Structure 1
């Protein structure tokens, strides 16, 4: 095709179109990955519209850390078969990246909602609230009968992470069973749980819950249950289900354990 029939771009124009520096184009030319269509009479390199798709593909693949050597191998002798195989392989990587971004989005959204929730509560005050059902994932039940130590909780946490395939910081909480609460065993964790998307996991039942936001180190959580039970009794209610502990303010937010905040939600009727 005659060059006059194609729109052309000088190096700066082409680089601006893709939001890159001219040095990137110079480097790609130097290594033989992507070269200009030609050089004008005044010595300036230029590219044409037919090269836009090729360069967009190169930039997209580089964003996925696709090796330059493999890019050179492909573009030195492109074909429909090689392109289809390349697209299929990279699609899997893109889907994996999307999953990671979705998990990160959920994590940031959770941090934001927790910060907003904490701003609007009174610490140490028991509230009786009607809650909707929630989807959660539970760990395997705790086989131990005594109180749960920090070491045991951390071990169960790691196992739960492995079972669910979760990675990085997560918002895993603890369940204290109704049976343990009624017999005064407040330091035993019956199982761990984490909130999940609608339509998956188990159901945390809807209904009336006594909610208390407790400020203090993890070791102090068990000590607040007698106060919580007394307040429930003062409201003319009784325990009818498990307690769910959610660690709203933890080591992600503060280095001082005395400033930790735990949300306890205990099913009542």
Structure 2
């Protein structure tokens, strides 16, 4: 025993950043046994067992059952170690990608919310916009709920899994529908994204946009539509084609639906004057 340094259960637990109860349990199931027990039953561990403990805790972090970890440790060889580590490395890479995706979505939501805090939601303004790329869903139809559910599900899966967009999904109305003071008349879902060849994107050309904000439940957004249409007519403008509505303050930012804020973007051009 004098040829090697041994650690008590408490010291080894501190060294490996685990609890003493964890070591007792691992000993009980024969996953990691003390290298030595004295005549009083006190457990002692070797510094060389730190590697095994690190492996156990790392595999646990990857949601590997203790039963599988035990089988691996008891039957390990260079080939099985390489095979397991390759599989776990791939899982780690996927997990990192997923966490980066979540982080990007959170950061984007922070940016959008901070920008919104600087806006006067009571104003309707004209702004210049640059070229943008949109991922747009298939058209929703009026009388086919099953089809619409599939369209929405496909769009959300692509937006979240491929584009990593989780908090900025909006809806598109056509010009004709914008002139109808009714609710639930949107035809497409959309999300703004960076250009990619992986998906069929819609290019929104550089133009002037009338931008307004609706405060309150989305079902009453047509009330703000009426104000936007009045603004457009008073400024001798004409709607180009589509209208875009995006959540600014939603259930994530506020609890009361009366405080929801929806951004309305209407691409416009100067109206043709009658001769």
Q: TM-score range by the shorter chain?
A: 0.7 to 0.9
3-state SS, counterpart of residue 48 of structure 2:
helix
Aligned to 1:35: 33
**SS of aligned partner of 1:87:** helix
Aligned to 2:208: 208
Asked whether the equivalents of residues 175 and 244 of structure 1 are also in contact (C-alpha less than 8 Å), the reply is: yes
Per the alignment, residue 93 of structure 2 pairs with: 95
Match of 2:189 among 152, 170, 192: 192
How far apart are 1:268 and its partner, in Å?
Answer: 2.3
Quote the residue 2:82 is aligned against.
84
Query: In the alignment, what sits opposite 1:122?
Result: 120
Structural mapping, 1:248-263, within 5 Å:
248-263=248-263
- Give the equivalent residue in structure 2 for 1:133: 131
Deviations 1:147-173 (A, max 9, x none): x99x99777533422455659964321
2:33 match: secondary structure:
coil
- Give the Cα–Cα distance (whole angstroms) in 2 for the partners of residues 36 and 15 of structure 1: 12
Aligned to 1:222: 222
Counterpart in the other structure of 2:168? 171
Deviations 1:230-254 (A, max 9, x none): 3234445432342211122223344
Query: Aligned in 2, Cα 1:214/1:12: closer, same or farther, shift over 3 Å?
Result: same
Aligned length in residues: 262
SS in 2 for 1:176: strand
The 8 Å contact of residues 215 and 260 in structure 1, kept in 2 or not, is answered as yes
Aligned-pair CA distance for 1:199: 3.3
Pairing 1:264–2:264 present: yes
Residues 78 and 86 of structure 1: CA distance in aligned 2, closer, same or farther (over 3 Å): same
Change (3 A) 1:211 1:18: farther
Q: Is the 8 A contact 1:176 1:186 kept in 2?
A: no
* Deviation of 1:220 (Å): 1.4
Which runs of no fewer than 5 residues in structure 2 stay unpaired? 270-275
SS at match of 1:199: coil
Task: Tell me, in whole angstroms, the C-alpha distance in 1 between the residues paired with 2:252 and 2:240.
Answer: 33
Secondary structure, aligned partner of 2:32: coil
Q: Distance in 2 between matches of 1:218 and 1:69?
A: 52
C-alpha distance 75-152 of structure 1, shift in aligned 2 (>3 A): closer
Instruction: For structure 1, list consecutive stretches of 5 or more residues without a partner in the other structure.
Output: none
**What is the RMSD computed on CA atoms of the aligned residues?**
3.3
Question: Counterparts of 2:16 and 2:74 in 1: how far apart (Å)?
Answer: 22
Residue number in structure 2 paired with 1:51? 49
